[in-house]
Amino acid sequence: MAFKISKGKTDRINVRLPNPQIENKITKQRKENAYMKKSLDELSRHKGAPSDSENNQLLLEGGSAGWLPANRHVAVMEEHLKDALEKNQQWLAYDQQREAYVRAVVEKTHQLEQQLSQANEALQQKDRKACMEALKNVESLRSAHAELEVEQEKTEQGRHCEEKQWEAQRQAEKERKHVEEHLHHLHTSLADASAKLEEERLRSSVLLEQVVAKAGRRFLTDLSWVNYFQKVLLTQQNEQNRMSVLEQQIQVSAKDLEDEKRDNQHLQRQLHKILKELRKSKDKVARLECEKAQTEKPLSSIAYTEVEKATKGDLRSHASPTKAHNLLNESFLECPNCRAQYPTSRHRELLVHIDECFD
């Protein structure tokens, strides 16, 4: 009998069971062996007496040649008996060989059945193990995919936060330039007002000297000139007060500008920190994508709260230029002659008005 064991691509062992025809043949051989054994037993029981056909054969031979002596008859019977014994021994040897062959076939069949059972059990264990590994790989792939989606979302949020930071920085730079220009205008206006005040002082002193010289030559009975000069002196004093107030406002604006510079430096540090975190996030996303690509056959975090807090803090810090601008708009300057009030942001109009009012 032939038992074929084949190995497929998936390491499955296919064992072909014995063919029914072979089993029928074995059964048939067993029956033949039993029949032959029975025949041999009968032959061995009757080996001492010749059969009727043999006796008839001997009688026919005796009729033609005469009666043979008794010793000849015994010799013939012994010859037939030896032939029968030889055939019996041959049949016994053949029967033993057949039974040994059948026992070997049965033992081989039993061994193959045991091998088949062991192979099936090993195959089932291997299938279960492969199924568990496949489930683990699927779960690992799902978790890696979910983590990758979270990291991509955080990266998008970081990029959006970065854009807001750049926009806030550009706005702060624009406000800083506006404050610097306003301070430059205030310094220019202060310099012009100081020059005009000095010129007015010189003119008043010259006029006062002229009046004193004229008063030395004649008695001044009219006090209008004295009142006028007192008014001029009072005006100069008021102008000095206004100039001191303007200087204080300039100092406040300069302080606000320094605060704005510090805020910008803090914003730059926060932006550098955000960029560093963003680079780390991008590197992590790239690493997760690489791991996802490697685990397709069998398949954490960025400090987003700190970035958001830093962003909110930086956005709140942008209010200082506007606050300085509002402080400048809330302060007023007065004309020393007619007491007309002008906002600090309209100081140029006040200077033009002072020139026209005193002329």
**Domain-located, residue 3:** no
The whole-angstrom separation of Cα 243 and Cα 249 is 10
The residue type at 329: N
Alpha helices, DSSP H, located in the chain: 20-45, 52-65, 70-217, 224-294, 304-316, 319-330, 347-358
Tens-digit pLDDT profile for residues 286-319: 777 777 677 654 434 443 444 444 444 444 444 4
Tens-digit pLDDT profile for residues 231-282: 777 877 787 787 778 778 777 877 777 777 777 777 677 767 777 777 776 7
Asked if residue 250 and residue 190 are part of one domain, the reply reads yes
**Domain-located, residue 144:** no
**Domain-located, residue 88:** yes
Which residues are CB-contacts of 144 (< 8 A; sequence separation ≥ 6)?
288, 291, 292, 295, 299
Asked if residue 178 and residue 87 are part of one domain, the reply reads no
* Maximum average pLDDT range among 44-53, 162-171, 206-215: 162-171
pTM across the whole model? 0.29
Among candidate residues 136, 170, 200, the one where a domain is terminated? 136
334: domain range?
Answer: 158-358
Asked if residue 354 and residue 263 are part of one domain, the reply reads yes
Q: How far is CA 98 from the centre of its chain?
A: 72
Instruction: Look at 54-58, 76-80, 158-162 and tell me which has the smallest mean pLDDT.
Output: 54-58
Helix axes 70-217, 20-45, angle to 10 degrees: 160
User: What letter would DSSP give residue 11?
Assistant: -
**Domain-located, residue 104:** yes
> CA torsion, points 304, 305, 307, 312, in degrees to nearest 10?
140
